[in-house]
Structure 1
Amino acid sequence: MSDSTPQQVHRRRVMYVPGYDPVHPRKYRERYRREAAAQAAISGYEIAMGPKRTDGKFGWHLSAMIDGCAVETDVEVMYWADIVRASMSHGILATYGQLARTAWAYIGSGALFRLMRLRKGPVIAALYPVVFLLVQLVLAICIGVASALAVEWVGVQLIGIPLSVFGLILGLVMVWAVLDLFRRYDNRFLAYYLMHDYAFSARYGGAYPLAQETRMAAFADRIEAALNADPDEVLIVGHSSGAYLAVSILADLIRAGRVPDGGPKLALLSLGQVIPMVSFLPNAHRLRADLAFLSMRDDITWVDVTAPGDGCAFALCDPVAVTGVAPEGKRWPLVISAAFTHTLSPARWKALRWRLFELHFQYLNAFDRPGDYEYFRITAGPETLQSRFAGRAPSKSRIERPVNRYRDQAA
């Protein structure tokens, strides 16, 4: 955008919907602060960050000078980390129970095999906690059996009597100790975290739990309040699992007539989405209906950004089309690539290449070779999402073939 281009946004509200993440919203604030400063230095503009000025619980305020235009932005984090933490408060036995139920939910329904026809990266990421937790269990059992046998050998050699009960008890204690050790150091392996993540989505076969529905209704209230505060744009950003939550929240708002006529521009930016992980499950009737509904609206702009380098996302998979619910005349989303291999320098790409979780958050970070996707220009700059991507062609390598078996939708 040049200085002569009309400024569409003077005031913006950004409503950020995180993925399945137990961290406090301050982590997102500090990431924004750090990465915005880095991007501003690279791209030659100014972003100042300060305390929130809205009545939302978690957020911050931005004052930016980009392309000669002053823009004020209020960012609010849609908080559901408490629900995530509650779903992660399971012990070792309960987690292995989750493993069995989740594996059956995806394998028994056939969803796993259909997801593999889209992108193998996120499916491998989904299989990782299953395999690694089973490896932990096998290793723990081997150590337990070895401990029991060692006690038996010592008992026979020293006193001529096998200590069967003691050996059994020691073996069980060792099994538990090894499993507990892995659980305590899961911040290095993330097997328990990922298992809880997939189990949360699969528990009701793709239907939303009541606690999540209740929180989504509260998010809708916050977005409606933002729409009525008269900014120039209300931008909903859904990252990872937050993308499918954002789809359903917006669909609810629009269906209920809670989006004011002639109000601010309303836009959805989905980043690193994993929508098929839920929409391919048999009971995801609501999400499939919401995807189909939102894809037809002419009162929103929906841009979906992923990158093939992100092994945790369904990169360049049109979530509406691959789910098999694309209606005639579908408008959204516009599927584009963040193209990490082009927007990151070779040195930066090399440093991040195998840091899979940091790559999954790269959409929220600075790019040292930014292209048309640049998070901070979108969230703090003078153009609406609609204007910025007007006329932008979708990625040629996007996947649109419908491969989902379950296509029924909520009435």
Structure 2
Amino acid sequence: MVPCPATRPTTAALSDASPVAVRRVFYIPGYDPIHPRRYRELYRKEGAAQAEISGYDLDLTARIGSPKSTGGGYGWSVASRMDGAVVASEVDVLVWSDIVRNSMSHTIAATYMQLIRTAWIYISTGALFRLMRLRKGPVIAALYPVGFLLLQAALACAAFAAVLSLGIFATDHAERAIWPDPAYTPLISYGAALSAMLGLITGYAVLRWFKARDGKFYAYYLMHDYAYSARHGGANPPALEARLAEFADEIAGALAGGADEVLVVGHSSGAHLAVSILADLIRDGRVPLSGPALSLLSLGHVVPMVSFLPGAYRLRADLEFLSQSRALTWVDVSAPGDGCAFALCDPVAVSGVAPPRKRWPLVLSAAFTQTLSPARWRELRWKFFRLHFQYLCAFDRPGDYDYFRITAGPMTLGQRYAGRAPSASRIERAVNKYTGTAP
């Protein structure tokens, strides 16, 4: 293991630094096939709402018209006036949606094969049962696409059986009316074959109906997500590794570009990608000692879904390495109300790789039941997918977590949370069976 530079400023030193005037923000989405403009529009809409609630000014202007065809950034500029300071932030979405789209099975049969393969991996390795010892919510979310896809298959089979039975029944009665002699049955075999064909068409139509409406059900989408993590046993596919190297180059360029803070935000499965990228940068000596403050904000992480798999050697090594580093500040924010995340689970500790000199992450709760008004909480409580994105949205009763103050305000992440105690309800017990960091 390469030791972290001892001369890099610590969190305490960063807390005494000058206010931020220029910031570079790199947002890494989770497993999302949608065009990254959705994140600009989300930032624009929710930032305006939070600015009105909290009494500061936030102004967005588009900077990059479209993402590069092979990845790269899509971003916008933010000018803010908060706490008497003017801050200019440049936000880039690090795009890997093309990889996500290419990983998705486009046929119904292929998705059901993914279901069988993914379920086998998580069950046979014991990962599923260990994940259940952390949080039930994300495990239920993981089981939901399996159960709902099996329900769809059952309904398709029921439709097939109903059409087949009805066809055979109708053929039998028609034949008896034409040829009363029970020994003479020239139509029955043809009727059964035709009924079976119509039954298959009907069953397939049922499956197609559900697939066409997956924008409401998310069963296919979630199945593709979990299958992507499991397909290589927790290791990154080659295309993703190549993209992470490109992301590292972009962040390294920003570290040499004169900003006061370079902030990397990893949301959902983007959190573990951010961990690996920053671990690579620090190991390779690409974080300048006298450069800007380097910060990592992980939001609604699902790290155990990957780190609990036997082949996730790279991720476990990166978690162990980054948790000791003095080269950055790492704050992890989640909320028990987010049923799609491993809320308040320390991703390093629960993965079983916490070293004796562990410093990070600082695990904090976004406390949805306190930072959202009762009326707003009632409105969102059962919208699980929407709640998973609440970290990027406005809070009508904001606490010390404010996404827009963090990404556009005058304080670095280290300054903002200097001296902040971690959440008392965080989970740190190591339940992972696979703790190796090298094959």
Normalised TM-score (structure 2) = 0.91
Q: In the alignment, what sits opposite 1:140?
A: 156
Matches within 5 A, 1:160-179: 160=176, 161-162=187-188, 163-179=191-207
Q: In the alignment, what sits opposite 1:261?
A: 289
Whether 2:98 is the aligned partner of 1:82: answer: yes
> What is the letter of the counterpart of residue 46 of structure 1?
D
SS at match of 2:73: coil
Rounded Cα–Cα distance in structure 2 between residues aligned with 1:157 and 1:87? 50
Q: 1:14 aligns with which of 25, 29, 38?
A: 25
Mapped contact 1:53–1:61 kept (Cα < 8 A):
no
Mapped contact 2:63–2:76 kept (Cα < 8 A):
yes
Mapped contact 1:61–1:73 kept (Cα < 8 A):
yes
Matches within 5 A, 1:105-124: 105-124=121-140
Rounded Cα–Cα distance in structure 1 between residues aligned with 2:58 and 2:114? 44
Rounded Cα–Cα distance in structure 2 between residues aligned with 1:299 and 1:185? 46
Q: 2:314 aligns with which of 265, 281, 286?
A: 286
1:288-317 per-position Cα deviation (integer Å, ceiling 9, x unaligned)? 000000000011000000000000000000
Q: 1:60 aligns with which of 76, 80, 83?
A: 76
- Return 5+ residue gaps in structure 2 as ranges: 1-15, 177-186
Whether 2:324 is the aligned partner of 1:308: answer: no
Displacement of 1:7: 4.7
Rounded Cα–Cα distance in structure 1 between residues aligned with 2:99 and 2:80? 33
Q: In the alignment, what sits opposite 1:296?
A: 324
Rounded Cα–Cα distance in structure 2 between residues aligned with 1:177 and 1:340? 41
Matches within 5 A, 1:185-204: 185-204=213-232
Mapped contact 1:95–1:196 kept (Cα < 8 A):
yes
Q: In the alignment, what sits opposite 1:363?
A: 391
Q: In the alignment, what sits opposite 2:415?
A: 387
> What is the letter of the counterpart of residue 119 of structure 2?
A
Displacement of 1:173: 1.4
Identity %: 63
Q: 1:24 aligns with which of 20, 35, 55?
A: 35
Mapped contact 1:125–1:311 kept (Cα < 8 A):
yes
Compared CA separation, residues 93 and 128, structure 1 to 2 (3 A):
same
> What is the letter of the counterpart of residue 361 of structure 1?
F
Aligned length: 407
Q: In the alignment, what sits opposite 1:321?
A: 349
Displacement of 1:159: 2.5
Q: 2:382 aligns with which of 346, 354, 368?
A: 354
Rounded Cα–Cα distance in structure 1 between residues aligned with 2:21 and 2:289? 20
Whether 2:257 is the aligned partner of 1:221: answer: no
> What is the letter of the counterpart of residue 321 of structure 1?
A
Displacement of 1:90: 2.4
Whether 2:54 is the aligned partner of 1:43: answer: yes
Displacement of 1:206: 0.4
Displacement of 1:8: 1.9
> What is the letter of the counterpart of residue 71 of structure 1?
V
Displacement of 1:250: 0.5
Q: In the alignment, what sits opposite 2:182?
A: none
Displacement of 1:164: 1.8
Displacement of 1:52: 1.8
Whether 2:147 is the aligned partner of 1:131: answer: yes
Q: In the alignment, what sits opposite 2:8?
A: none
Compared CA separation, residues 106 and 147, structure 1 to 2 (3 A):
same
- Return 5+ residue gaps in structure 1 as ranges: none
Mapped contact 2:299–2:391 kept (Cα < 8 A):
yes
Rounded Cα–Cα distance in structure 1 between residues aligned with 2:258 and 2:17? 19
Q: In the alignment, what sits opposite 1:103?
A: 119
Rounded Cα–Cα distance in structure 2 between residues aligned with 1:223 and 1:89? 32
Mapped contact 1:12–1:72 kept (Cα < 8 A):
yes
SS at match of 2:290: coil
Displacement of 1:51: 2.1
Mapped contact 1:7–1:69 kept (Cα < 8 A):
no
Q: In the alignment, what sits opposite 2:179?
A: none
Q: CA RMSD in A?
A: 1.4
> What is the letter of the counterpart of residue 83 of structure 2?
D
Runs of 4+ displaced beyond 3 Å? 53-57
Q: In the alignment, what sits opposite 2:430?
A: 402
Rounded Cα–Cα distance in structure 2 between residues aligned with 1:146 and 1:51? 55
Displacement of 1:410: 2.5
> What is the letter of the counterpart of residue 79 of structure 1?
V
Q: In the alignment, what sits opposite 2:181?
A: none
Displacement of 1:393: 0.3
1:200-226 per-position Cα deviation (integer Å, ceiling 9, x unaligned)? 100011010111111111110110111
Q: 1:235 aligns with which of 263, 269, 277?
A: 263
SS at match of 1:58: strand
Displacement of 1:6: 7.6
Mapped contact 2:64–2:74 kept (Cα < 8 A):
no
Displacement of 1:146: 0.8
1:140-184 per-position Cα deviation (integer Å, ceiling 9, x unaligned)? 001101101111111111134321211221121111111111101
